[in-house]
Chains A and B, each alone.
Chain A
């Protein structure tokens, strides 16, 4: 208990002092996870919406697989991306392994299924309500997917947050493909894992606080935006 309070105190000092190393790690974490969420949304949102409004053989199986992939273990994704990007791998020539780009790729793969599966559900619910009206107007299926995606935009905020939460919190994938190299690929989660094993609890704890605070602040902001917008647009 004593070491926890001591660590907390030191962590607060580190955070308050704007420790250079700390700031660097936090910024890289945000850069990697936010970019990964952005990429995952570019792929996952249209994909989910397209599945929601289309009918094709194997659709149900695809949805089951997509839902299951939400639970993809980060270390497995890390391993696969590692194999793809390593020197001998098919994408080895790009030289991306142990760079932030590799971490972005791994996290994006991890959260595409989350974004796609959840947006599929939300858009499909809307489609039930709008289908007759949109067909009556002569809207095409792909047009309907885009229209519905925009119409459920406030619900998508929660989905994006779920994706970001997953990306920011995972350690397995970024550890494997990034390598936790000081000043290059060290992010909050890998740093926490490392500092804990080294016994530097204040830094680990300080990072933990920051991670929690960032996630909390983002969620609060998104909640307020969503509430206000929903009140305005119904």
Chain B
């Protein structure tokens, strides 16, 4: 069987998202390619989460185009996934939550349980497989959300501040998971407010400011010597978060 042609690169051309007169995303053109982990940072209200949702197809741009290299079938399983800041889990067991995503993803019934268990094992949650998802701790819930996305083996994984409300231990677990998902060949696009996390997980930084890309640079270079004024100010803590 032929492998499906890659979704990537993802091309954005002059993308604008306006709500009333306010342009939340104000003319972004960029190319997201296979490989490097892209970390999007920027002050509050810069449009980071909105940009992620546009890329993932949860929002439609007011103008401009967002084009994947190969199209996802409109009624078939998706080849991209997203992990949100607050995990949204169904009132079922942890295992059933992952299996549910696999069912939508078109995985045959006979394979779902073993694949779901496998994903839970990867995030260290196999011991709570039969527990109700919503009574797990915050960190476990987010790991479960990560496992759910991982089980789908997406080509691209979007993450919107996945550790924003977690303690350091849980954050570490999530970061380990993200690194492993990247190692398995998935493109990572991560929005974060945590600059340490951006350094640890990023290959390249996309710095957003007022709905535009103010700077895009490899992570080392960005933190050593940001080229844009806005980024320099942001790193010095002069721009509001």
Contact = CB atoms under 8 A, between A and B. Distances in A.
Contacts of B76: 138
B97 to A, nearest CB: 10
Contacts of B135: 232-234
Interface in A128-169: 129-130, 132-133, 135-140, 143, 147, 151, 153-154
B84 A138 contact: no
Interface string B7-44: 00000000000000000000000000000000000000
Interface residues of A, number: 18
B176 interface: no
B191 to A, nearest CB: 14
A139 B76 CA distance: 10
Interface stretch (B88-96, B107-115, B121-129, B227-235): B88-96
B57 to A, nearest CB: 8
B77 A233 contact: no
Contacts of A147: 90, 100
Contact of A133 (B88, B91, B105, B133): B88
A194 B42 CA distance: 76
Q: Tell me whether chain A's interface is mostly helix, strand or loop, or mixed.
A: helix
Interface residues of B, number: 23
B90 A136 contact: no
Contacts of B90: 130, 147, 151
Contact of B58 (A136, A143, A151): A136
A146 to B, nearest CB: 11
Contacts of B75: 140
Interface core residue of B58, B75, B76, B90 (most chain A CB under 10 Å): B90
A233 B136 CA distance: 10
B132 A234 contact: yes
Given A138-B78, A233-B132, A151 B104 contact: no
A234 B58 contact: no
B199 interface: no
A133 B85 CA distance: 11
Contacts of B58: 132, 135-136
Contact of A137 (B78, B91, B132): B78
Interface in B127-178: 132-135
B179 interface: no
Given A133-B84, A137-B78, A233 B104 contact: no
B132 A232 contact: yes
A143 B104 contact: yes
B82 interface: yes
A138 B58 CA distance: 10
A232 B93 CA distance: 10
Interface of A: 129-130, 132-133, 135-140, 143, 147, 151, 153-154, 232-234
- Cβ-closest 7 pairs across A and B: A234-B134, A133-B88, A138-B78, A233-B91, A233-B132, A234-B135, A136-B82
29 contacts: A130-B88, A132-B53, A132-B58, A132-B82, A133-B84, A135-B58, A136-B56, A136-B58, A136-B81, A136-B82, A137-B101, A137-B104, A137-B105, A138-B76, A138-B78, A139-B104, A140-B75, A147-B90, A151-B91, A151-B92, A232-B132, A232-B135, A233-B132, A233-B135, A234-B91, A234-B132, A234-B133, A234-B134, A234-B135
Given A151-B90, A233-B91, A234-B132, 14 more contacts: A130-B90, A132-B58, A132-B82, A135-B57, A138-B77, A139-B104, A140-B75, A154-B91, A232-B132, A233-B92, A233-B134, A233-B135, A234-B91, A234-B133
Interface of B: 53, 56-58, 75-78, 81-82, 84, 88, 90-92, 100-101, 104-105, 132-135
